Amino acid sequence: MDATPSSTALGLNPDREAASPADAISVIQERVQQLTAEDLDELMNEKYRQAGTICYSTDEYKASEHGKANANVGLYELNHVPNNAQKPGWWKSVPDTGVARPLAGLKVVDLCRVIAGPSISKGLAELGASVMRVTGPGVVDAYALHADLNWGKWNCSIDLKTEEGKETLRKLILEADVVLDGYRPGVMEKLGFGRDAVLELVKNRPFGLVYARENCYGWHGPWQHRSGWQQISDAVSGIPPSEPWGLLI
């Protein structure tokens, strides 16, 4: 969504004007051809924190350290953090709860962007949950998708790099039943709103909280810290054609 880091990584001027899309492609292609897929993978993911991967075959992925680490992991994992002060129960009942809106009364703080995370919160909103989507200054998103993925939600802009903004989010979370984290692994932890910090924040209230997070590479293995989306998870795990494609950016 922001081409500046990728252009900088390749040694290209991000402000260079191209005569046509074909011209831009040619310039990038010429530079990329000077690198191996492994070098480009390391450069983009580890140094410049860009989303991309080598396209592996299924067998290559299974043989990789990351593939081995996730070989016996399911599509999702549930982790219970015991708290004797918080008894199991439902969220607060509201008059609007019914067959058409079974999740009415459920309060969700949506810390997500692009597609995967917003799709989760969209589903909750469609079932009647009250979803507060949190964005902020400088947060780039796939705006063309908002008409589909953002409808039915409340929206707010909070600067989480300020103490005032962090306090505002804490107040929202203290009233919430669910927090969704769809950012790159470690981002919310750095801002003070990772799973452990949020559970610590709500530990003294009478009702618990579900902290849900999604990640392109899963939560095990050497690539778990990388960012990405569906096409990248497909490419890294061998879902495209069995013969490797090179590198997908």
Can you give the three-state secondary structure of 155-201, one letter per residue? Answer: EEECCCCCHHHHHHHHHHHHCCCEEEECCCCCHHHHHCCCHHHHHHH
pLDDT at 182: 93
For range 208-230, the mean pLDDT: 93
CB 18 within 8 A of CB 27: yes
CB 84 within 8 A of CB 154: no
The pLDDT-based confidence of 120 (bands split at 50, 70, 90) is: very high
For the chain, list the domains and their CATH numbers: 4-72+222-248 (no CATH), 107-213 (3.40.50.10540)
Tell me which of 58 and 244 has the higher pLDDT.
58
For range 131-160, the mean pLDDT: 90
Which of 25-39, 123-137, 228-242 has the least mean pLDDT?
Answer: 228-242
Beta-bridge mates of residue 154: 132
For range 9-31, the mean pLDDT: 91
Say if residue 235's pLDDT is above 60.
Answer: yes
Which of 1-5, 30-34, 80-84 has the least mean pLDDT?
Answer: 1-5
Mean confidence (pLDDT) of the chain: 91
For range 94-116, the mean pLDDT: 91
The pLDDT-based confidence of 140 (bands split at 50, 70, 90) is: confident
For range 64-70, the mean pLDDT: 96
The pLDDT-based confidence of 241 (bands split at 50, 70, 90) is: low
Map residue 207 onto helix, strand or coil.
Answer: coil
pLDDT at 100: 87
Say if residue 119's pLDDT is above 90.
Answer: yes
Q: Which two tokens stand for residue 17?
A: 């004007």
Query: How many helices (H) and strands (E) in the chain?
Result: 11, 7
Contacts of 210 (CB under 8 A, 6+ apart): 177, 178, 179
The pLDDT-based confidence of 249 (bands split at 50, 70, 90) is: very low
Residue that the structure tokens 């046509």 belong to: 20
For range 228-233, the mean pLDDT: 88
Q: Which two tokens stand for residue 28?
A: 């990038």
